[in-house]
Amino acid sequence: MYDGTPRPLSFPPVRSRRRALRGAAAVLTLSAVLLTGCSGTAAESSATKGPEAAESSAEGFPVTVDNCGTRTTYDKAPSRVVTIHQHPAELMLALGLKDRMVGTAFPDSSVLPRLRKDFEAIPELAKKEPSFENVLEADPDFVYGGYGSAFAENEGRSREAFADAGIDTYLNREYCGKKQVSMQDTYDEIRTIGTIFGVRDRADRLVADLQGRIARTTQAVKGVPAVPVFVYDSGDKAPFTAGGKSLGTEIIRLAGGRNVFADLDEVFGDASWEQVVDRRPEVIAIYDYAGAGGVEQKKKFLLSQPALADVPAVRNKRFVVLPLTATLVGVRPPYAVEDLARGLHPERFR
């Protein structure tokens, strides 16, 4: 097992090397990568010599990034990218990097409308996580994963396997074992990806735009009483919900609400229906994503439970639907803040 010791992940940018390795991919012995301590920070290297290095330095390269225990030096921006899961793809597109993308996989909710056309133009490799061989067929030099499962060793997609094939990888910082996820993580993620791809100015502009969007929303709900909100992700015997360590809790707060399970000391976790009844949420935020039964099915379930009949949110049918991708580290959380605020305090947006 890789022990987390930094090791070089730079390989010659020669596609023939990756093609030659494909034939051996089936017999690779895949090792685990220790995914801890995700700083996601990027720093320019000062080791530059000669005319070519001077030109590279002027463009912001080389850069070294520490990501979830994997340290990678980029001599130039990746040019053939595969994203696994939707939120990395949306972040890439929001940075204007469509021309670098050669494949996506695992769309799990509606795409941000302004990005939909570009998203649909990129080849879809798989409805769920693609196989290692499927990814290699796209001939990438960089794979960007949204959930930890993007690099599942037991499915043959460990980060070490990609490194052995000459392909760099990056995992969304939310899945680097962080114990607290915040809006700052979204800004840091955008800036780190902007650094890797040599578009720092775009990243800064995008962050400023998202910060402005949140500022307008928080100003609109300034001074309102916080509305108690219950996040319903899934579950029938026990509700699976967003805990106090989640980005969802901050989204709720910025929208003028209060997560009734903010005391759950986890990013996500199980609660009980008795607790939901006792905490009397006035609004239920339903997380929408593929494979979770669908929003209407979730509403039907909540409305059909006699024990929940007197819960204010159920009695008044006050539901706000948020795409799961809008609650993950990426470009969507500021939009989720606005959408939720409109559901919690509609009188402030008329």
Q: What contacts 24+ positions apart, CB below 8 Å, involve 97-103?
A: 97/197, 97/199, 98/122, 100/197, 102/138, 102/139, 102/140, 103/130, 103/135, 103/138, 103/140
**Run of H or E including 341:** helix 333-344
pLDDT of 21 above 80: no
Q: Which domains does the chain have, with CATH numbers?
A: 15-178 (3.40.50.1980), 223-349 (3.40.50.1980)
Model confidence over 184-213: pLDDT tens digits?
999 999 999 999 999 999 999 999 999 999
Report how far apart, in Å, the C-alpha atoms of 327 and of each of 23, 65, 66, 231, 315 are: 39, 25, 24, 11, 26
pLDDT of 307 above 50: yes
Model confidence over 157-176: pLDDT tens digits?
999 999 999 999 999 999 99
